[in-house]
Amino acid sequence: MSENIFFDNAYFIIGTAYAGKSTMVKELAIKYGGIACEENYHDNYPGELDAREFPCLTYTRDLKDWHDFIRRSPQEYKNWIDGVKKECEILELRMLPDICSQGKPVFVDTNISVDTLRLIAPLDHTLVMLADPQISVRRFFERPDPEKQFLYKLILEEPDPEKAMENYRNGLEMINSQEAYGELLNSGFNVIIRDETRTIFQTLALAEKAFGL
């Protein structure tokens, strides 16, 4: 499918957690009167997902005991995350033609892979935003997101919470590896690296320049 579609009015942001992707998508959409496809916008996909086609995305939907979610090995956790990203790409590519047909610029916090992005949009319509991979590991449970706090509560309920936390953080380290960081850094797309001294509007200016806006 990706080989048959091309988005001239979509601007994609990929990268690591805590890099500011969601903020930039929202700010760009506001400034340019565009549409913001924010983090996990694929959750708005109409209709029921078939577990046979989307086993990773339906894993949590069909989960009987959420403690099983945090008890998975680090490799099982990473494999699931990788699968989720691939399945999200399928949904995004089904949703984006209608979204982009509205005639406005579309700013997308995306799960679409680097290889696919090279096929479906101009080179300067993809921006990579990166933060130190260890930030995601250290600060994962600091965010007030209900989902993260729910997982934190589950870990504390385990017979050995310390061991459960170590297991979960090991999974986060596998997902947020230096190898994954390096692949994005050297993807050939424009890159913005998180800098705590920059303001949101300074980062916005960098994003605009990267996109040629």
The strand pairing partners of 108, in sequence order, are 12, 37
Q: Which of 42, 35, 44, 39 is nearest to 101 (CA)?
A: 35
44-72 pLDDT, tens digit per residue, is 998 899 999 999 999 998 899 999 999 99
Domains within the chain, CATH numbers bracketed: 2-208 (3.40.50)
φ and ψ of 128, to 5 deg: -100, 125
User: What is the tens place of the pLDDT at every residue in 85-97?
Assistant: 999 999 999 999 9
What's the mean pLDDT in 192-196? 94
Cβ 38 vs Cβ 128: under 8 Å: no
Q: How confident is the model at residue 2 (pLDDT cuts 50, 70, 90)?
A: very low
Are 10 and 125 contacting, i.e. CB atoms less than 8 angstroms apart? yes
